């Protein structure tokens, strides 16, 4: 029992470590690649980790954790919108952002009420709301990644990139369901208390889901070289011959005169 409890705790620590690591990694990559929008992802994942770490280590009021998570979730939606939906005609990304902001306020109020007077109906209302709230955020990321993957899956794109879409999509959907498990946590028991079987089982299931998410999320974003080479096995990379501007324009004109869509056809 003790060993299992430590193992579940270790899973949750790895999960938080991955969030923090991806957050820091995104900041570095934003500076290196000029992809400034990934700063939103960086802030989001860093805050998700920090909010949990301070809840574990310090005795800050719960409301601080609630505020940090709310900011993290709004940032996550902005990251998803700027990565997958920039300048698209659809108003859905904007709508999702507004719904997320409204849900952040509801999340804040529910947690505030629980701080004042906790009760079973309030606990279950918070859990159900939290499930819907997280499903919108991570479901949106997962769905966006899945739809984008479907658009490029038949194109000549390096397989490791296609795999990144699939992993991000899968783990995002998985994390939506974490809150469903919380429904089985008795409201009057301390979460993860090994003295209560239900609480302990819920803690274990959530820890296992967290470690699956952490491994997937780490593989997707850190993607080590050996894993990229493994995924790219058999793939022929496109290497273009170097042309001067003159040579290239001559080539294009020649190809166009041989049947291209120019004014001479």
Partner 1 sequence: MEIIKSLGESLADKISISPTAARGLIKLSIKDELGPFTNVNKVNFNDLHKTISNSFKKRLVNLSIQDVEVITESMLTQLKHIQSLITMANV
**Positions in the binding site for partner 1 (CB under 8 A):** 25-26, 29, 33-38, 83-84, 86-88, 144-145, 148, 151-152, 155-158, 161, 164-165, 221, 238, 240-241, 243, 245, 248-249, 251-253, 255-256, 259-264
Minimum distance of partner 1 from residue 31's CB (angstroms): 12
Minimum distance of partner 1 from residue 162's CB (angstroms): 9
Report in angstroms the alpha-carbon separations of 184 from 41, 137, 188, 205, 210. 31, 22, 12, 11, 17
Task: Write down the H helix ranges in 58-177.
Answer: 62-84, 92-116, 120-152, 159-176
Burial class (CB in 10 A: 0-12, 13-18, 19+), 45: buried
Cβ nearer to partner 1, comparing 29 with 114? 29
Cβ nearer to partner 1, comparing 104 with 172? 172
- The phi-psi region of residue 259 (left if phi > 0; otherwise alpha if psi is between -120 and 50; otherwise beta) is left
Tokens representing residue 81 in the block: 């919108």
CB 137 within 8 A of CB 160: no
In whole angstroms, give the CA distance from residue 42 to residue 168.
Answer: 15
Minimum distance of partner 1 from residue 113's CB (angstroms): 39
Cβ nearer to partner 1, comparing 19 with 131? 19
Q: Name the DSSP class of 189.
A: S
Cβ nearer to partner 1, comparing 129 with 166? 166
Minimum distance of partner 1 from residue 93's CB (angstroms): 12
Cβ nearer to partner 1, comparing 184 with 235? 235
CB 73 within 8 A of CB 104: yes
Cβ nearer to partner 1, comparing 4 with 152? 152
Minimum distance of partner 1 from residue 101's CB (angstroms): 23
Angle between helices 62-84 and 92-116 (to 10 degrees): 170
Minimum distance of partner 1 from residue 61's CB (angstroms): 35
């Amino acid at each position: 029992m003790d060993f299992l409890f430590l193992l579940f705790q270790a899973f949750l620590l790895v999960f938080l470590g991955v969030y923090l690591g991806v957050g820091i990694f995104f900041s570095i990559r934003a500076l290196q690649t000029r992809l400034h929008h990934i700063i939103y992802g960086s802030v989001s994942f860093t805050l998700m980790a920090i909010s949990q770490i301070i809840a574990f280590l310090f005795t800050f009021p719960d409301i601080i954790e609630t505020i940090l998570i709310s900011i993290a979730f709004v940032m996550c939606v902005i990251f998803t919108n700027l990565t997958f939906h920039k300048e698209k005609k659809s108003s859905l990304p904007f709508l999702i952002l507004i719904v997320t902001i409204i849900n952040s306020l509801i999340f804040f109020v529910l947690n505030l009420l629980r701080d004042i007077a906790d009760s079973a109906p309030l606990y279950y209302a918070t859990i159900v709301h939290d499930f819907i709230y997280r499903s919108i955020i991570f479901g949106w990321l997962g769905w966006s990644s899945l739809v984008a993957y479907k658009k490029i899956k038949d194109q000549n794109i390096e397989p490791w990139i296609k795999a990144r879409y699939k992993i991000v999509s899968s783990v995002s959907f998985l994390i939506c369901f974490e809150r469903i498990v919380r429904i089985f946590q008795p409201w009057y028991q301390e979460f993860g208390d090994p003295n209560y079987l239900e609480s302990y089982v819920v803690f274990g299931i959530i820890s296992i889901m967290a470690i699956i998410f952490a491994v997937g999320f780490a593989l997707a974003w850190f993607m080590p070289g050996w894993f990229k080479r493994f995924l790219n096995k058999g793939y022929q990379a496109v290497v273009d011959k170097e042309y001067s501007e003159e040579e290239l324009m001559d080539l294009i004109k020649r190809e166009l005169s041989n049947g291209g869509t120019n004014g001479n056809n």
